[in-house]
Structure formats: structure tokens, C-alpha cells
Amino acid sequence: MRAAAITGAADSIGVNAVSLGWIDTAVTGRALAELPGAEVVRTKAGGAYILGRLARSEEAADAIASLLSDTASFVTDTESIVGGGVLCSR
């Protein structure tokens, strides 16, 4: 990412990464439904985050959109972790 950020800087192109945790989507729901004890798995997965739940797809999209907006014009060579505080709980 750093090399790409350096290359893009000359053209005012920011290069960033977004790392997502579990997102509660229809696909996630279908995958969980196939597991024995799906609600227990969902509860435990949500419990891994200090916010106590999986992310909604709109929340992930909003985080990404903010990096694409003009307000992030000086943001480059960074990783945004959209993970509900999962790293705090380790």
C-alpha cells in the first residue's frame, strides 16, 4: 500500500485499505442458518466486538464512502478497521 500511496501522491490520489469485521448481510444469515446452533454462533460472533453485535452493511458502506469523499482528501497510506472494536477485546 505504501508504494501505491507514494506513486498516487503526485496525482493527488489517496491509497487506503479498509479491513472489515463480520457484516450482517443476507449471505451471512444464510451461511449461519446452515450451522447447528446458528443463533448461538451469531451471538458469540457479535460478542467478539465491544459493540456487542455484527456490523450492518450500511455502516461498512458509510466508512468506505467517507474515505472516498472530499473530506478525506489528505488521508492516504492508512488502514481503516471497521470492526466494532474487535481489537480492543483481545
So what's the pLDDT on residue 90?
60
pLDDT of the chain, 90 residues: tens digit per residue: 999 999 999 999 999 999 999 999 999 999 989 999 988 998 998 998 999 999 999 999 999 999 999 999 999 999 999 999 988 866
> What ranges do the domains of the chain cover?
2-84
Please tell me whether residue 17 adopts helix, strand or coil conformation. Answer: strand
So what's the pLDDT on residue 89?
67
49: region left, alpha or beta (phi > 0 left; psi from -120 to 50 alpha)? beta
Q: Does domain 2-84 have CATH number 3.40.50.720?
A: yes
So what's the pLDDT on residue 70?
94
So what's the pLDDT on residue 88?
86
Q: Cα 7 vs. chain centroid, distance in angstroms?
A: 25
